[in-house]
């Protein structure tokens, strides 16, 4: 079934004064008589009929007494008219900004079901603005260039593709806001990470809900959002509130070693760095990224145990699988660590890595 929406919205506004004129003419009443019976100036009645003056709640009550038509009818006519006038004015204003849609991955958002598709460009623009929770493209630019988003803007990947990355981050934010989490507790989160580490051998349909549950109990909302086309980031971390952190993950690399390294890397940012920091993982360098990398590497494959492995075993698939079982992680994680450290060529043992697909 097509999700393309063709919502009918009139391109004109009928002032309630026209209905008022039809009503008094049907009763054989003149504007002057209506003015006399309501106690309103003749000029006011004439301006209401011409659409130059509004029907106020007070006037609506007076019309109810004089004409026998409920006040809510006149109030609804007036409200609908003013809303239509405002909508038409907004459509005219927004029509000059439809080119902004080219900066946003609209087709991808529609395909994922995050927004609806409209054939009318202005309606599509309004749909995208609603997704971002802003009134206009100007507000979108203002929001994503404000001080609260400065850390996003410093990311090279955000500078390259702000529309794509902001759409992905926004989805993560929307999902995270709807997740129930306890107030953040660092000790509880560290304990949760040890439980999560034991899940690295599981399939996504098993580990995804468990990771979410364990981390939510420690005050961290873990959100899995599919990557968008041409997106070059695998994870992001920020604090939604002072007591609720967010880890947002894609499956950009689609292998277990990359996913789990990304997760523990983001977890490292939460435990090691400030609540005002925002991190988007791409090609960023720097001390904090190095610290998060080291945290992830040592949490997944402890350095001391790895040294013992080097001293007591020869590198082989069997030895790697056995070592991974001994330390309680997926063998692909060990392969990724060995490849990263230059101990194993990137062409070797990749069949020990698990290719991941999203759970339905």
**Same domain, yes or no: 189 and 248:** yes
Among candidate residues 34, 28, 41, the one with its CA nearest the CA of residue 63: 34
Which of 164, 188, 221 is a domain's end point? 164
128 within domain boundaries: yes
323 within domain boundaries: no
**Same domain, yes or no: 77 and 176:** no
User: 287: which residues sit within 8 A by CB, 6+ positions away?
Assistant: none
11 within domain boundaries: no
Rounded to whole angstroms, the Cα distance separating 120 from 156 reads: 34
Which of 302, 328, 345 is a domain's end point? 302
pLDDT at position 174 over 70: yes
**Same domain, yes or no: 193 and 232:** yes
For residue 72, the domain's CATH number is 1.10.260.40
User: 4: which residues sit within 8 A by CB, 6+ positions away?
Assistant: 117, 118, 119
For the stretch 80-100, pLDDT in tens is 999 988 888 888 888 999 999
pLDDT at position 72 over 70: yes
What is the token pair recorded at 175?
């999902």
39: left (phi over 0), alpha (psi -120 to 50) or beta: left
8 within domain boundaries: no
**Same domain, yes or no: 87 and 102:** no
**Same domain, yes or no: 297 and 181:** yes
**Same domain, yes or no: 177 and 248:** yes
**Same domain, yes or no: 54 and 74:** yes
Domain hosting 23: range is 16-95
Rounded to whole angstroms, the Cα distance separating 337 from 257 reads: 8
Rounded to whole angstroms, the Cα distance separating 220 from 181 reads: 7
pLDDT tier for residue 145 given thresholds of 50, 70 and 90: low
Which of 95, 118, 145 is a domain's end point? 95
Number of structural domains found in the chain = 3
197 within domain boundaries: yes
**Same domain, yes or no: 281 and 209:** yes
Angle between helices 186-197 and 204-216 (to 10 degrees): 170
Q: Which of 126-130, 253-257, 356-360 has the lowest mean pLDDT?
A: 356-360
pLDDT for position 147: 41
pLDDT tier for residue 274 given thresholds of 50, 70 and 90: confident
CA 316 to chain centre: 44
**Same domain, yes or no: 224 and 179:** yes
User: 253: which residues sit within 8 A by CB, 6+ positions away?
Assistant: 234, 259, 262
130 within domain boundaries: yes
pLDDT at position 231 over 90: no
Rounded to whole angstroms, the Cα distance separating 91 from 70 reads: 32
pLDDT for position 212: 96
What is the token pair recorded at 287?
């001390």
The dihedral sign for the CA sequence 327, 329, 332, 333:
negative
Global confidence as pTM: 0.79
pLDDT for position 8: 53
Q: Which of 87-91, 101-105, 243-247, 265-269 has the lowest mean pLDDT?
A: 87-91
pLDDT for position 148: 45
**Same domain, yes or no: 171 and 257:** yes
Strand partners, 117: 4
Among candidate residues 341, 249, 352, 331, the one with its CA nearest the CA of residue 294: 341
313 within domain boundaries: no
For the stretch 32-64, pLDDT in tens is 999 999 999 999 999 999 999 999 999 999 999
Question: What backbone phi and psi angles, to 5 degrees, belong to 329?
Answer: -130, 165
Strand partners, 247: 222, 237
251 within domain boundaries: yes
**Same domain, yes or no: 222 and 290:** yes
**Same domain, yes or no: 214 and 265:** yes
């Amino acid at each position: 079934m097509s999700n393309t929406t063709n919502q009918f919205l009139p391109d004109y506004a009928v002032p309630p004064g026209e209905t008022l004129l039809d009503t008094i003419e049907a009763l054989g009443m003149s504007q002057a008589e209506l003015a006399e019976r309501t106690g309103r100036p003749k000029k006011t009645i004439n301006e209401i009929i011409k659409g130059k003056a509004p029907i106020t709640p007070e006037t609506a009550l007076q019309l109810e007494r004089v004409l026998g038509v409920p006040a809510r009818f006149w109030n609804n006519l007036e409200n609908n008219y003013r809303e239509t006038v405002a909508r038409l004015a907004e459509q005219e204003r927004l029509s000059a900004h439809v080119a902004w849609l080219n900066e946003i991955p609209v087709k991808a958002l529609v395909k994922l079901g995050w927004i609806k598709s409209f054939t009318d460009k202005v309606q599509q623009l309004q749909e995208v603005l609603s997704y971002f929770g802003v009134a206009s493209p100007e507000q979108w630019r203002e929001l994503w260039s404000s001080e609260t988003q400065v850390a996003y803007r410093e990311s090279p990947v955000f500078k390259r593709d702000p529309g794509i990355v902001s759409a992905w981050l926004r989805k993560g934010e929307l999902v995270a806001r709807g997740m129930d989490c306890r107030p953040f507790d660092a000790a509880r989160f560290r304990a949760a990470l040890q439980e999560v580490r034991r899940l690295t051998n599981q399939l996504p349909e098993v580990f995804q809900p468990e990771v979410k549950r364990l981390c939510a109990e420690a005050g961290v909302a873990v959100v899995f959002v599919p990557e968008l086309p041409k997106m070059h980031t695998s994870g992001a971390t920020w604090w939604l509130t002072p007591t609720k952190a967010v880890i947002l993950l894609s499956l950009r690399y689609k292998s277990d070693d990359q996913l789990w390294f990304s997760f523990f890397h983001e977890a490292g940012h939460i435990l090691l760095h400030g609540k005002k920091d925002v991190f988007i993982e791409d090609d960023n360098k720097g001390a904090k990224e190095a610290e998060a990398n080291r945290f992830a590497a040592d949490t997944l494959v402890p350095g001391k145990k790895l040294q013992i492995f080097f001293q007591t075993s020869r590198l082989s698939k069997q030895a790697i699988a056995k070592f991974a079982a001994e330390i309680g992680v997926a063998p692909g994680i060990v392969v990724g660590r060995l490849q990263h450290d230059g101990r194993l060529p990137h062409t070797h043992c990749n069949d020990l890595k698990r290719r991941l697909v999203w759970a339905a």
